[in-house]
Amino acid sequence: MNFDGTKHSHCRYNPLKDEWVLVSPQRLSRPWQGRVEDDDSGDTNNNQQSTNPLCPGAIRGKAGQPNPFYEHTFVFDNDYPALLSDIAADENEKNNDDDLFRCHVARGVCKVICFHPDSNLTLPRMTLDDISHVIKTWIDVYQDLASKYQWVQIFENRGDMMGCSNPHPHCQVWATDFLPNEARVKHRTQKDYFTKHNGNVLLLDYIKRELNEFKKARVVIDNEHWLVVVPYWAVWPYETMLLPKRHVLRLSDLTDDEQIGLGQIMKQLLIKYDNLFNTSFPYSMGWHGAPTGDLSNEDCSHWQLHALYYPPLVRSATVKKFMVGYEMLAQAQRDITPEYAAETLRNLSSEIHYKDKKNT
């Protein structure tokens, strides 16, 4: 039979991570009798000051610190951090050439950013002014940590399905004195592309190709300053990448107009996500940009800022994609094509959140 990429299995290359993903659209007809998750589409009242430690005025953490009665965002050091900043020098830092038992001290800080005082108000239902406070707080925290650490990872885990331990809208920021795996690979691949293509930036070339392609098959939404696509090499069913159209190295380099456009396009995208299955769409998202700290002294022109959204839902609000078996032991695999996912999201034209429709 003749190959048809919408029906037949094939592999796609991810130049950012130097790896392949197996696309298997023929599996969509597979009956599902596996695990079904709880539907998180109902309204819940999370805003209970006496029990939620992230609410304004609540008592939080091992030391029993009271939160301020904040009106927009609130930043604090994680009470249970994965990294420590005050570790003394160790022999492992000097003798780090053991090919079998290599180790180095990992220093860093972990912070939490609460998005809003209302526990029931997730990002897609916030006002653009509220979202602008989140973006400005991201940038402020990023700038502070970028002066001291090589990598600043802003990320949000949304929903129980993604291991979020508190439903109050928030994200985390982990800053490290080393480049973590994902950053290290992207630092190499973008630099290799930059060298091979006479100073062209990988993701800027990618943006041009997506915007110039017939029918813009993987474009979900765009505005003057930003583009949202389901990447050609996407792994998760409705994975998206959010990129500035201008060459931007780091979050702190965004202009005021780009910050405004970012708030607008984030709200549009997250409404689409929630409206897809009429549920509070779970995902892990985060920002990747050029390294910081002492690495900011190097030429990082090969980098392009981008955010990634990794949502697990695939068939409905209760059926998610599992990364097990072949995915863990061989390579990533997906069923629906990126083009199908982009078209599905693109066709969700309503800019009103499904919960707000119920209230009108």
- Between CA 156 and CA 309 the distance in angstroms is 9
SS3 8: coil
**Cα dist from 30 to 3, 135, 234, 322, whole Å:** 20, 41, 21, 15
Name the residue among 350, 336, 192 with its Cα closest to residue 271: 350
Q: Which two tokens stand for residue 273?
A: 């996500």
- Residue by residue, DSSP assigns 290-346 as ---GGGGGS--TT---EEEEE--EEEETTEE----THHHHT-EEESS-HHHHHHHHH
Distance CA 82, CA 111 (A): 10
Q: Is 247 a catalytic residue?
A: no
Query: How is residue 23 written in tokens?
Result: 């696309």
| Helix intervals (H) in the chain | 91-94, 128-146, 181-196, 202-212, 256-276, 326-329, 338-346, 354-358
What's the burial of 71, exposed, middle or buried (CB within 10 Å: 0-12/13-18/19+)? exposed
CB 311 within 8 A of CB 283: yes
- Among 168, 170, 225, 306, the active-site one is 170
Cβ 148 vs Cβ 293: under 8 Å:
yes
Sign of CA dihedral 127, 132, 138, 141: negative
Phi, psi of 336 (to 5 degrees): -70, 145
Which positions are annotated as active-site residues?
170
